[in-house]
Every structure is written in C-alpha cells, then in structure tokens.
Chain A
Amino acid sequence: MLNEIKEVIKIREYAAVFALIFATTFLIYFALLLNSATGIIDFKGYYIYFDILSSITISFLLSLVITINIYAYRIRAKTSKGFSLGSIIGAILPSSLCCTSIIPSIMALVGFSTPFIVGNTGKIQSVFAIYGPAFIAAGAFIAFLGLIQITKSISSGCKLDSNKCCEVKNEDKN
C-alpha cells in the first residue's frame, strides 16, 4: 500500500492535489469540530487536542483517498467513491446532527407531535453528542478501508510513466 501511495504522491501534480485537499479539508473539519466542541464530554479541557488530531487524521486519509481516486480514474482502475463518501458522512454526522435543530425539524416534518418531539429528540441527538468521537473514528476507519481498496486497485492496474501515459504492468487487466 505504501509503495502505491509513494508512486502517486511523487508525481508533482498529484502531490499538489493532495496538499490542496488536505489543507481545505483540515480547515473545514477543524472549524466544524471546534465549533461544536466535539469530544468535550469525554475529554473535557483536552478536547481541542482531540479535535486537532481527528482533523489531521481524517483530512490526511481522505485527501489520500481522493487523490489516489483521481489517479485511479485517470488510469481507468477501479475507484472507491463509496468509501470516500462514507468517510465524509461519518466524520460530519456528529457535528451536524448533535447540536443543531435538524433532528427535531425532521421529526416535525414526519408529523410527530410537539410532546413527542420534546420528549424524544434527545434520545437521537445524544447519540451523536456522546458518541461523536466514535463516529469520527469510524469515519477514519472507512477512509482507511478506502485507501486499502484503492491502492489494491491501482497496483493491479497500471501506473503513469514520466509522459503521463499508462505503463501496463499486468496485461490481463488492460
């Protein structure tokens, strides 16, 4: 897996894509996690370190997966969009569903009564608040699975040579 990652990142164009995606996703995740104080219930005053670490981990893995997906798409290898989306959703869920009025709004839309909403919204929202770190860990794990899948896919395909042409490694696959 490391060899495939090195193979892609050593191409300047992909290194730039990786750096750009990493910087953007890190800023977004960090702002999102910090704003919703994700992890404060479990880690108290140390939650900021958790948020930094989570943002770095998720952004790093996700940037790699997306960059290698772009590479895989170019060389017509199998991509892993599902894992990328799964990872994004897993990482965003706690901050978007825990502390906003999205859940009660959905309950109202579905037609639940006010007493039901008041008495039950916490049962759903608390899951995202209390298990926020677990959702983030799941997001990172899904991104890691995506990374394994996509590197396997490109290693069985071909790699781009210095002229950005597909250098066939295994003729059966092409």
Chain B
Amino acid sequence: MRIKIKYIAYAAIVLISLSLILHFLSISSAKTSRYLAVGDTAPNYSFQLINGSTENISSYRGKPLLLWFVTTWCSGCAQGNTVLANNLAFFEEHGVKIIELEQYDDLGYSGMPISQFISEYGENNTYVQGGSAGYNMTIAYNTPPTLQLDIYYLIGPNGKILYMGEGLSSELNEIENTIIKEGL
C-alpha cells in the first residue's frame, strides 16, 4: 500500500510537471497567427444577450468595449465579477461598455445562468451585460489548446484589440491603465 501511494504520488508529480511545461509552451506558441493579438481587428461574431436580443461585435464600433469570456463555475471568474463591480465607476466614466459572455456550453459543464452569476458575484450591478457565445465565437477568441476559463479583450472604438489577457480580476489595473493611455 505504501509503495502504491509512493508511485501514485511520483506519477502525479511527473504529470503535473509535464503539464506545466506544456502549458508554458502552449502560451509561448500563442503568438502564432492562429491566435488573436493586440492590434488585430476583433473578429465579428454575433452573440445572444440575457434579454434575448442578438448582437454582434461590429455593432459596438464607435465605443470602447471590454469583451470578457467566462465560465459560470469558475472561481476566478466569480472573483473577477466582484473586483469589476467595485471598479464600475471607472468604466462608466470612460464610457467603456462591458459584455460578459458565457463560453460555448460553459465548456462542457453547466454552471449557474450567466445572469445569476453576474448578479450574485457582481454585487447586483446592472452595468455589466451578460450573454452567451456560440462555438465559433468561443474558439475564435479563446483558441485551444490554451483554452482559458477567463479571457478578456479591450476593443477600441475602431474595432481593434487594444489589450487582452487572462484572469481579469488580477489585471484590472492594466486594463484601466490602457484605457487612460489610449485616451478613451
């Protein structure tokens, strides 16, 4: 029994180490043309908002937009909603629209509805608009294998990507700095 535990533990360590290496290799390969980058035009896809209306990215031209893809069972995304809710005044002041989209099929595990997710963790704010993205939009903005649970894009009024990253809660300062730097 002791030997078994020992080998299971070693196997787990090897697996986690290999995964970490792979993870970092995947991230470095994210600079290839398959992935979106700062300066690219945000691909135009349509998505459905909570109120049932269908919108598309190009309809937000002329206004800065923070497009955030989440899964509604992800703890980092929940934290992101709380952090964002505490900083909404900044986004309102700079006229930045915020769209939070549940990724396609919640990436295979159905969490709570996106409206409940925003309301429960985002302190009942009504500024962040929730919706859901289809399969093509999800993989265009969140291309596997670096499939993130929490990925966001700051899109300028001209439709170009100004800033992007993973883990909104820890990068809100960078987003705000970019908004200021770009004079939005």
- CB closest residue in chain B, given A34: B79
Known contacts A37-B79, A82-B6: does B147 contact A99 (CB below 8 Å)?
no
Q: Which of B41-49, B137-145, B174-182 contacts A (4 or more CB under 8 A)?
A: B137-145
Q: Which of A44, A118, A123, A125 is close to B149, meaning CB atoms less than 8 Å apart?
A: A125
Q: Decide if A101 touches B107 in the complex (CB within 8 Å).
A: no
Q: Which of A37, A86, A123 is close to B78, meaning CB atoms less than 8 Å apart?
A: A37
Contact indicator per residue, chain B 37-76, by CB within 8 Å of chain A (1) or not (0): 0000000000000000000000000000000000101111
Q: Decide if A129 touches B75 in the complex (CB within 8 Å).
A: yes
- Residues of the A chain whose Cβ atoms lie less than 8 Å from the Cβ of B146: 101, 104-105
CB of B104 closer than 8 Å to a CB of A? yes
- Residues of the A chain whose Cβ atoms lie less than 8 Å from the Cβ of B78: 37, 40-41
Q: Decide if B9 touches A85 in the complex (CB within 8 Å).
A: yes
Q: Decide if A101 touches B23 in the complex (CB within 8 Å).
A: yes
Interface of B is mostly: helix
- CB closest residue in chain A, given B112: A41
B146 to A: closest C-beta gap in Å: 5
Q: Which of A83, A85, A101 is close to B13, meaning CB atoms less than 8 Å apart?
A: A85
Q: Decide if A118 touches B108 in the complex (CB within 8 Å).
A: yes
Q: Which of A55-63, A68-76, A109-117 contacts B (4 or more CB under 8 A)?
A: A109-117
CB of A100 closer than 8 Å to a CB of B? yes
Q: Which of B71, B105, B149, B169 is close to A119, meaning CB atoms less than 8 Å apart?
A: B105
B121 to A: closest C-beta gap in Å: 7
Q: Decide if B139 touches A101 in the complex (CB within 8 Å).
A: no
- CB closest residue in chain B, given A92: B16
Q: Decide if B106 touches A122 in the complex (CB within 8 Å).
A: yes
CB of B26 closer than 8 Å to a CB of A? yes
CB of A35 closer than 8 Å to a CB of B? yes
- CA–CA, A72 to B76, complex, Å? 40
**Which residues A87-127 have CB closer than 8 A to chain B?**
89, 92, 96, 98-102, 104-109, 114-115, 117-123, 125-126
B161 to A: closest C-beta gap in Å: 19
Known contacts A99-B76, A101-B26: does B147 contact A126 (CB below 8 Å)?
no
Q: Decide if B121 touches A117 in the complex (CB within 8 Å).
A: no
- Residues of the B chain whose Cβ atoms lie less than 8 Å from the Cβ of A98: 74-75, 149
Q: Which of B19, B73, B109, B121 is close to A105, meaning CB atoms less than 8 Å apart?
A: B19
Please give 4 more A-B residue pairs, beta carbons under 8 A apart, in addition to A36-B76, A102-B16, A122-B106. A106-B19, A118-B139, A119-B105, A126-B73
A-B contact pairs, 29 of them (CB 8 A): A36-B75, A37-B78, A40-B82, A44-B120, A81-B6, A82-B9, A85-B6, A85-B13, A98-B149, A99-B76, A99-B149, A100-B23, A101-B23, A101-B146, A102-B19, A104-B145, A105-B146, A107-B145, A109-B22, A117-B147, A118-B107, A118-B139, A118-B147, A120-B108, A122-B71, A122-B106, A122-B108, A126-B73, A126-B111
Residues in B lying within 8 Å of A, measured CB to CB: 2, 5-6, 9-10, 12-13, 16, 19-20, 22-23, 26-27, 71, 73-76, 78-79, 82, 104-109, 111, 120-121, 135, 138-139, 144-150, 167, 169-170
